[in-house]
Structure 1
Amino acid sequence: MSRIPAMPREGVGLFRRLAYRYARQRFGAVPEPFAVAAHHGGLFAAGAVHETLVEKVSRVLPANVRQLAVYRVAQRLGCSWCIDFGAMLQRMDGLDIERLAEIDNFADSARYSHAERLAIGYADAMTELPVTVTDEQVRELEAEFGRAGVLELTYHIALENMRARNNAALGIPEQGFTSGEACRVSRD
């Protein structure tokens, strides 16, 4: 259970009820970080708008590259909620989630393409403290994805670092998106 409980649908105003409905339709349940953030109306709205805009404008990178980099950050930071949700998003995008079991061996695994290896390595370097990104990494990424692609990848990795740290601090556990188990937040 998270350190701050999810706000039930009955406790939220019209905007948040509509947002809960949209989330349930899209994901099958209201994501718990979303329902926890509902305690602060302004941050809830800002987060919802931000996430929606980031999703809409992120069209440079292939979904598999972006999703794997984000998943790797969640895995490295140990955010069980993010790992669960990230695997579900990959499944929804039609990606092979079975290969996630081999992500620790991405550099040698035949299940990952060169582009995916570059993105996962970059996610590792950006998630290290201190950050260990090199000029050569950025040059390789730019050659593979272009400048806009590097910026999109960097933004998504940084955003997942924020999400994972936020969820870990609030103690938000996995919700059962990957397994399809009942979620802690009502599906009503």
Structure 2
Amino acid sequence: MDTSPIRMNRVIKVGMYLLSLWLLLVLIFVNKIDVNLCFDCKFATLKQLCDIALKNYLPLICVIVLVVSIGFYIAFTRIIEGAKDGPFKVIEIEDKTADHLVFLATYVIPLLSFNLDTLRQIVTLVITLSLIGAIYVRTNLFYANPTLSLLGFKICTVKFEQNGAGVPTGTAVLITREDIDLNTCVNMLRLDKNIFFARKAIVIKP
């Protein structure tokens, strides 16, 4: 039974949820930005900049959320630096990388149908995103993150050879940047109950 500490707290999970919305936020920004480009004009005054910001408050919010999510991604990459538990030998494996697409198709793509032309529609979208986020955090779906897939992360479920103390029992979810195969030995870092970040262990041949 694995007893290593859990590294993913609720705040980081919320940040990973924001990261998963990158595609939605970028598309909202592109669809709603309203700025007239003028290469021969003088620099805008502070009042003009404020007017532009108020006119484009929704794209501005999207940019802020995108920047915040980048900060959480940096925090996530720092968390997964210390994958040292193990090595553990994989004896069963199933590729779950398609879960990224399932999350995208189930939760993100349908939200693009919101017009966002009125305050009522914007409030409805915010409430919908909040409810999805609550489910996302409570059910530990932070690993099924389409943005992580774009950044080169993969998902698989595995079982390990039970040959000593501290080996995770049952099925474990691995987040990895490498291709994990059957009989591969991995070092891991526990992110949540049965969710781990893994990298291939260095095997020194005698």
Q: What range is the shorter-chain TM-score in?
A: under 0.3
Comparing both structures, which one devotes a greater share of its residues to strand? 2
Higher-Rg structure is 2
TM-score, normalising length from structure 2?
0.26
